[in-house]
Each structure stands twice: as C-alpha cells, then as structure tokens.
C-alpha cells in the first residue's frame, strides 16, 4: 500500500479517533479545519472511499428504499480465536 498524503492522514486520524460511526460531512469538515485545505464534497468523499476500499477504515451503507447514507468508522479488529 502506498504512503498517505497529509490530508488522507488527517481523515484517517479523525475517523480513528471517533467513537462509533462518523458521517462524511463531519469527517471532512474536521479534516478541512485541521489541514486548512478546502475542496469539493466529492473530492473529500473520494478520499474517504479510498481509505475504506484500501481496508484502512470501514464504510457502511444504510439504505431505506432510495435513501442511502454512508458512514465510516475505524477498522474493527477480529475478536478472539
């Protein structure tokens, strides 16, 4: 896996420091404030999705009919033997 840039590291830290799930909006707002980097919502979401696809964090989809919410949380380690 390649090295993370400063913004992706900030997002990873924020998600890992959060208890439970965090919304993309909250994660990106905190990361933007922390790094002083301002981009579009799509740009930020792409970084969160990449972290989830790389297995660095977990992403969960909650669906009710056509309403979809995607939240993220720190990666949960496997429990026990």
Residue 48 is part of which domain span?
6-74
Question: Is residue 27 in a domain?
Answer: yes
Question: Is residue 81 in a domain?
Answer: no
Q: H/E/C letters for each residue in the chain?
A: CCCCCHHHHHHHHHHHHCCCCECHHHHHHHHHHHHCCCCCHHHHHHHHHHHHHCCCEEEEEEEECCEEEEEEEECCCCCCC
Band (pLDDT 50/70/90 cuts) for residue 79 is low
Q: Tell me the C-alpha distance between 29 and 37, whole Å.
A: 10
Q: What's the CATH code of the domain at 47?
A: 1.10.10.10
Question: Is residue 15 in a domain?
Answer: yes
Q: Note the pTM of the prediction, 2 decimals.
A: 0.83
pLDDT digits (tens, 9 = 90+) for 22-41: 999 999 999 999 999 989 98
Question: Is residue 24 in a domain?
Answer: yes
pLDDT digits (tens, 9 = 90+) for 38-74: 899 899 999 999 999 999 999 999 999 999 989 999 9
Q: Is 80's pLDDT higher than 80? A: no
Question: Is residue 32 in a domain?
Answer: yes
């Amino acid at each position: 896996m390649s090295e993370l840039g400063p913004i992706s590291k900030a997002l990873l830290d924020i998600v890992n420091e959060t208890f439970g799930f965090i919304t993309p909006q909250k994660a990106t707002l905190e990361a933007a404030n922390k790094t002083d980097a301002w981009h579009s919502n799509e740009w930020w979401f792409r970084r969160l999705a990449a972290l989830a696809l790389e297995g660095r964090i977990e992403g969960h989809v909650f669906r009710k009919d056509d309403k979809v919410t995607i939240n993220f949380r720190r990666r949960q380690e496997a429990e026990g033997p």
